[in-house]
Structure 1
Amino acid sequence: MFFVDALETEGLGNRSHLAGGTRAAVVVDPPRDIDRVLAEAARRGVRIVAVAETHVHNDYVSGGLELARLTGARYLVPAGAEVAYARVPVADGHVEPLDEGLALRAVATPGHTPHHTSYVLEEGGRAVAAFTGGSLLIGSVGRPDLVEPRLTEELARAQHASVHRLAAELHDEVAVMPTHGFGSFCSSSRTDGTHSTIGAEKASNPALVQDVDNFVTTLLAGLDDVPAYYAHMGPANAGGPAAVDLTAPRRADADEIARRLAAGEWVVDLRNRVAFAAGHVAGSLNFEADGQPATYLAWMIPWGRPVTLLAESAEDIGRAQRELTRVGIDRPAAAAVGGPADWISDGTRPASFARGTFADLAAARARGEDVIVVDVRRDSERADGWIEGSVHLPVHQLHRRLAEVPDGTVWVHCAGGMRAAIAASVLDAAGREVVAVDDGYAAAAEAGLALVTRGN
């Protein structure tokens, strides 16, 4: 009897899978922090005999090389991927025995990348699950534009052909188990649901219900922004990631924090946005530990810039450190636990800024105040409508475009508050007077703010 366990990496919207039988298992698309994988294998009482990559990932650093080294497993990597380390080069049709009656069969599914390969788990020669990586997702497909702009349309057409191949070769009951699509920017569109089958995808997935030309046109028109750190993930995975080090960072005192800020390094406060707005180290930036610090910090920081983490607890430091290793920010320069009183040594008061709602913004406009509204949502969100007179500066671009923010008090908003808090901290660190709108965007209309949509 086989099993498949999904290991969620929620901050990145990814899943890894541990699959096998009573004694042996394979890990497909493992995360960087492989201690989670080893713990799950120990819980199952199985030995990891194979580690399989569906592709060289562009959205996170893989732990596959280290996992294979530690366990002695065979490391399966698509033959077409150019990598700098020894591996088992997997071609279409390759069969990897796992446990008694269980095997993994490789199916070439180019599209997300030119070398992308899916793996079909077979029990007694019958397919039971398909690990589709960034090919066939739940209700979508992996985006084809992460490798090279000149290849995007070609890969989009290959993606259509690949998912049709899977649908044709596998029976309807086969479980579809992708790596991406649960909030991942590697997905070509928003996806819903956590479980699916080939039959369910044949009935509703756009790639399987549209002809290739309509599919490609729609797919390319709907592609969202690409996080900047993606540019570093592929080379890291092809070169061979180092073993991850999750030991606690060195502790910094207030004087060191001040020196690091003066040197232009990034000091990141992981506390919740309410606490940060009420008081923080001047010049520090707010990426909430309970938000998506890995995605947005890695997206915004100049690559390689040292990072010092501040948090209320060592647990929050450790959690953020783990998330950051997944995207190649391996070791914080330092860390400190406590609050602003512990992090400021020269007797100055903590910096602070105001928070508000869309109703507060509407009231400020009604009073005739000098109000600048900055919308930090992505282009795809803004396309559905915006507050009249607002300036659009996506949060991941704001720190490079501060000169484009007009003079005046800046009210900054996103769709829910988290990204507005990040943006407010960036503006505050730049010396601007700012109000962070901590509110859902739907409340803008309810507050009576004039909205603009395309066509009106």
Structure 2
Amino acid sequence: MLLERIYDEDLAQASYVIGCQAKGEAIVVDPRRDLDVYLDLAAKNGMKIVAVTETHIHADYLSGTRELAAATGATMYVSDEGGPDWTYSDAFVGAVRMKHGHRIALGNITVEAVHTPGHTPEHLSFLVTDGAQSSDPGFMLTGDFVFVGDLGRPDLLDEAAGFVDTRFAGAKDLFASLRDRFLTLPDYVQVLPAHGSGSACGKALGAIASTTVGYERNFSWWSRYLKNDDEQGFIDELLNGQPDAHAYFARMKQQNKIGPAVIGDEPELIEYTSERLGAELADDSVIFVDTRHNGQVHEGTVEGALNIPGVQKAASYGAWVYDPETEQRPLVLLAASRDEAEQMRDHLIRVGIDAVRGFITSLDGLDLVVPKLVQPEDLDGFEHVLLLDVRNKTEFAAGHLPGAAQLSGGRVLWNLDQLPAADAGTIVTYCQSGVRNSVAASALRRKGYDIAELDGSYNAWVQMSGALPVAA
């Protein structure tokens, strides 16, 4: 049996390729939309991808299930649990709709769907049995159900998808799924989750790639509540202290249910000259993306540029500052090479940003502006209408600048009604070190706000003042 974990550090998301080497067939679980990693792995192992599935309707990235099926002819398998509100649309043409206990056979391998609601009502986990070795399952792909050291949060439907108080029913479902599905398995079953440390789909995800049923049974934070049959204690602790849900999650949830657009072969990126880019910026027909670190951006950037610092977190930060549902103008990236620009495009399409038109390798010849900064020692005397903390609410609660309001960077663009009017005066923004602040500030400037970034952000202010931070 082949079982490969494909991990995206940007979104802290894992997909899996499971293959029967005897028959040369493979299934992909929870794929992203840029497919080369799966196609290359299958080719390397002499396998054909014949099936593709996903654990649930995802909120943090745009699923590649339809994309992979279109590229390979693989059969799609999707959940048919959770009721009519959680049914995949008719765009999943030919998809097999699975109930609890449905089995997918690949030669000696069996992949069995297990309904594990809680994170979402339709959520499935997959028990994997290598029939060449055993008649019993040895692996469970748990999606957003059980993570290493944590559980999938049940409040995302409230936080990101517009539902009201579904978190309580979700938490109860999660308790039951653990009791009736997960803890009935043998201790040796290996647990392979869909996310790792850094994901907003839980509050304390471990950085280790996998765990076992036995380890979680004995050492997880939630195990004592199950042992004592303390459902209310479990619910209270589960829901307490969850991080902010990024606003783009609502778009992902809707598009993944309806069916993400199939991209197919992507057009070649245009390599821009400074003259062409300058002309298109002048008539406001494109948006420029400055991909440098905020320290370089602060020395001068293109007016109206979005700051998405580098390839490695392009999907995460790109979804903070560009909403493809409201923005029609394509993107031109600053990139060292065509290859780097294509890598960044791959990251952006993982969150449904399909509008990258081209790239430019230098700022030479372009008109630049210097973003407004305020030094920590000058903040008290600096005139502003709002001091805005763009970190997560959990960071804010642990300590913040006196008088600051909190609105996380992943939600700013969708909650402008919580800010003063754009012409009301200067807003001073900060995060922990300055990276997230520069991203959020660039989006607000494009919306017409007068933004001054606190240079060095929270860390610099604490170092300068020597004062204890204000706790919420």
TM-score (norm 2): 0.84
Find the aligned partners of 2:451 and 2:333 in 1 and give their Cα distance. Answer: 23
Contact 2:102 / 2:112 at 8 angstroms: preserved in 1? yes
Taking a change above 3 Å as real, the CA distance of residues 316 and 377 of structure 1, as seen in their structure-2 partners, is: same
Q: 2:208 corresponds to which letter in structure 1? A: G
Contact 2:183 / 2:217 at 8 angstroms: preserved in 1? no
Contact 1:139 / 1:192 at 8 angstroms: preserved in 2? no
State the identity as a percent. Answer: 30
Per-residue CA distance 1:90-124 (angstroms, 9 max, x = gap): 11112221122x21111110111111111011123
Equivalent residue for 2:18?
Answer: 19
Report which stretch shifted further, 50-59 or 112-121: 50-59
Find the aligned partners of 1:408 and 1:70 in 2 and give their Cα distance. Answer: 51
Find the aligned partners of 1:420 and 1:408 in 2 and give their Cα distance. Answer: 18
Contact 1:427 / 1:434 at 8 angstroms: preserved in 2? no
Q: Which of 332, 355, 367 lines up with 1:331 in the alignment?
A: 355
Find the aligned partners of 1:427 and 1:52 in 2 and give their Cα distance. Answer: 38
Equivalent residue for 2:223?
Answer: 208
Contact 2:138 / 2:189 at 8 angstroms: preserved in 1? yes
Find the aligned partners of 1:55 and 1:178 in 2 and give their Cα distance. Answer: 13
Q: Find the residue that maps to 2:391 and give its secondary structure.
A: coil
Shift of 1:29: 0.9
Equivalent residue for 1:79?
Answer: 80
Shift of 1:408: 7.7
Equivalent residue for 2:290?
Answer: 269
Shift of 1:53: 1.3
Equivalent residue for 2:334?
Answer: 311
Find the aligned partners of 1:365 and 1:410 in 2 and give their Cα distance. Answer: 12
Find the aligned partners of 2:467 and 2:438 in 1 and give their Cα distance. Answer: 23
Q: 1:162 corresponds to which letter in structure 2? A: S
Find the aligned partners of 1:235 and 1:411 in 2 and give their Cα distance. Answer: 34
Q: Give the 5 Å matches for 1:145-294.
A: 145-147=155-157, 148-210=163-225, 211-244=230-263, 245-252=265-272, 254=275, 259-260=280-281, 263=284, 266-290=287-311, 292-294=313-315
Equivalent residue for 2:84?
Answer: none
Report which stretch shifted further, 315-324 or 186-195: 186-195
Q: Find the residue that maps to 1:20 and give its secondary structure.
A: strand
Instruction: Give the unaligned 5+ runs of structure 1.
Output: none
Shift of 1:207: 3.2
Find the aligned partners of 2:211 and 2:427 in 1 and give their Cα distance. Answer: 45
Matched, 1:353 2:371: yes
Contact 1:261 / 1:283 at 8 angstroms: preserved in 2? no
Taking a change above 3 Å as real, the CA distance of residues 406 and 213 of structure 1, as seen in their structure-2 partners, is: farther
Find the aligned partners of 1:374 and 1:217 in 2 and give their Cα distance. Answer: 30
Equivalent residue for 1:65?
Answer: 66
Shift of 1:296: 2.7
Find the aligned partners of 1:431 and 1:92 in 2 and give their Cα distance. Answer: 51
How big is the alpha-carbon RMSD for the aligned residues of Structure 1 and Structure 2?
2.9
Matched, 1:432 2:450: yes
Q: Find the residue that maps to 2:410 and give its secondary structure.
A: helix
Report which stretch shifted further, 131-140 or 442-451: 442-451
Equivalent residue for 2:434?
Answer: 417
Shift of 1:417: 2.4
Shift of 1:326: 0.8
What is the total number of aligned residue pairs between the two structures?
441
Q: 1:7 corresponds to which letter in structure 2? A: I
Shift of 1:411: 5.2
Shift of 1:410: 6.0
Taking a change above 3 Å as real, the CA distance of residues 301 and 331 of structure 1, as seen in their structure-2 partners, is: closer
Equivalent residue for 1:3?
Answer: 2
Matched, 1:48 2:49: yes
Q: Find the residue that maps to 1:328 and give its secondary structure.
A: coil
Q: Find the residue that maps to 1:395 and give its secondary structure.
A: coil
Find the aligned partners of 2:74 and 2:113 in 1 and give their Cα distance. Answer: 17
Equivalent residue for 1:340?
Answer: 363
Matched, 1:128 2:145: no
Q: 2:102 corresponds to which letter in structure 1? A: H
Instruction: Give the unaligned 5+ runs of structure 2.
Output: 82-86, 158-162
Shift of 1:132: 0.5
Equivalent residue for 1:106?
Answer: 113
Contact 2:80 / 2:97 at 8 angstroms: preserved in 1? yes
Q: Find the residue that maps to 1:42 and give its secondary structure.
A: helix
Contact 1:412 / 1:437 at 8 angstroms: preserved in 2? no
Q: Give the 5 Å matches for 1:26-41.
A: 26-41=27-42
Taking a change above 3 Å as real, the CA distance of residues 28 and 302 of structure 1, as seen in their structure-2 partners, is: closer
Q: 1:328 corresponds to which letter in structure 2? A: G
Shift of 1:386: 0.7
Find the aligned partners of 2:451 and 2:347 in 1 and give their Cα distance. Answer: 31
Shift of 1:203: 1.8
Q: 1:157 corresponds to which letter in structure 2? A: K
Taking a change above 3 Å as real, the CA distance of residues 4 and 251 of structure 1, as seen in their structure-2 partners, is: same
